[in-house]
Each structure stands twice: as C-alpha cells, then as structure tokens.
Chains A and B, each alone.
Chain A
Amino acid sequence: QKEVEQDPGPLSVPEGAIVSLNCTYSNSAFQYFMWYRQYSRKGPELLMYTYSSGNKEDGRFTAQVDKSSKYISLFIRDSQPSDSATYLCAMSAPGGGATNKLIFGTGTLLAVQP
C-alpha cells in the first residue's frame, strides 16, 4: 500500500464548476499537508499548505484536512480554464533529517473546459 493515494483522473469539468480533489494517507505521523500545482512542461509550485487538521482558504481555493479519516481535500470554486493543471498532494512528518522529506501523491490531472 502506498503511503499517499491520489486518483490520477483525468477530471474534466465545465468552467465555473466547483472542483474537489482528494488524497488519502496511511502514516499518522504526517502533520504538514500541501497541495502543489503543476502546469504542463513546468515544475510543481506550492499552492497551499496546512499544518495538522482544519481548513484553510485562499481566494477560490480551500484546503481541508481530516486527520481522523486520514483524508485531505482541495476545493476550487468558480473554476477557470487557467486552473487546468496536475494537482499533487504532498505530506510530511515533523522532525529533522530524512523525516523532513515530502511524500507526494501521483497527481490528479484537471481540465476546465471553457
């Protein structure tokens, strides 16, 4: 079983739709939860991060963490064609050295149709 599971999609939605992207994980030591966005032929860029449980909102984006269910979500409101990209979840456990590394999901490819 992978430490982080993510549906690869592709997910195709019409412009203006609400998008829900999800990841599950198995390691209860994870405390940092990140969403990275990767446009075609580019490197990933950090979109949002959350420490421990709860919600975080940034404009049209909301990140949710449910540690009891080991489940994280990214919601995109009023989706735009410019949101079309691969979305990668990533997680990390606190600590030094090797435990600072990020564990990535495989990514979900999102296409927002105009």
Chain B
Amino acid sequence: DVKVTQSSRYLVKRTGEKVFLECVQDMDHENMFWYRQDPGLGLRLIYFSYDVKMKEKGDIPEGYSVSREKKERFSLILESASTNQTSMYLCASSFTEGAYEQYFGPGTRLTVT
C-alpha cells in the first residue's frame, strides 16, 4: 500500500513564526503536491514538484515556499505565519503516468494565533 505521511496531525504556531510541514512518500512517485483545504473553498493547490529540486507554483503560492531535496520528501515552509494561513494542509503524491491518481496523507491541522 502507498503510504504518505505528514510530520504532524495538529500544530499551533504564533503569528510571525517560521513553520515547516514535512511530507514523506514511500512509493517512488515523481510528483508531490501541497494543498490547503478550507470550508467552502475545497482543495487548493499551493505548490507541486515533478522531480527532485523542481517545483512549480500552484494556484495560491503567496506566503509559502517548498523544498524537495530528496525524491521521497517534500516540505512546505511558511516563512512568516499569519492567521489567514490557519487551515488543513494536505500532501499528495503520484506517478507522472496516471497523475490523476493522487495519494494523500492524513493532513496537518495548522492553527496560527
């Protein structure tokens, strides 16, 4: 079974803090994604990566950056957390062939106070 793990289930941070969210997948997938999920807005793509050290902006990249130093690991960084970044963050991975089949992690509920 494909497994996508995320470093924390729940996280509480203060405004202005630098926040790291980590994601690891064990299926040798080329693609990895970071989404945020908010009520009424659904899943919105923040960033994705199709190869090591490669990244592309999604629909809402402002205030975020990413890092992919190894194929299995994709990190989302909030340089200076703000209250409007309080959300559920979901990581996903997929093969390039059949990219529609994305495997999701359990999510990190981030609260910024």
Interface residues in chain A, defined as those with a beta carbon under 8 Å from any beta carbon in chain B: 6, 8, 32, 34, 41-46, 49, 88, 90, 92, 97-98, 100-102, 104-107
Contacts and interface: CB of A to CB of B under 8 A. Distances in A.
A44 B90 contact: yes
Interface residues of B, number: 24
Nearest to B106: A43
A92 B90 contact: no
Report the 3 A-B pairs with minimum CB-CB distance, sorted nearest first.
A43-B104, A106-B42, A104-B43
A108 B19 CA distance: 31
A102 B42 contact: no
Nearest to B109: A41
Interface stretch (B63-71, B77-85, B93-101): B93-101
Nearest to A89: B42
20 contacts: A34-B101, A41-B107, A43-B90, A43-B92, A43-B104, A44-B43, A44-B90, A44-B104, A46-B103, A88-B42, A90-B100, A97-B56, A100-B99, A101-B33, A101-B45, A102-B45, A102-B99, A104-B42, A106-B41, A107-B42
A91 to B, nearest CB: 9
A105 B41 CA distance: 8
Contacts of B43: 44, 88, 104
Given A44-B104, A45-B104, A92 B99 contact: yes
A46 B107 CA distance: 16
A41 B37 CA distance: 12
Given A45-B104, A46-B101, A46-B102, A101 B48 contact: yes
Nearest to B33: A101
Contacts of A101: 33, 45, 48, 58
Contact of B106 (A34, A42, A106): A42
Nearest to B91: A43
Given A43-B90, A88-B42, A90-B100, 4 more contacts: A41-B106, A42-B107, A43-B107, A100-B50
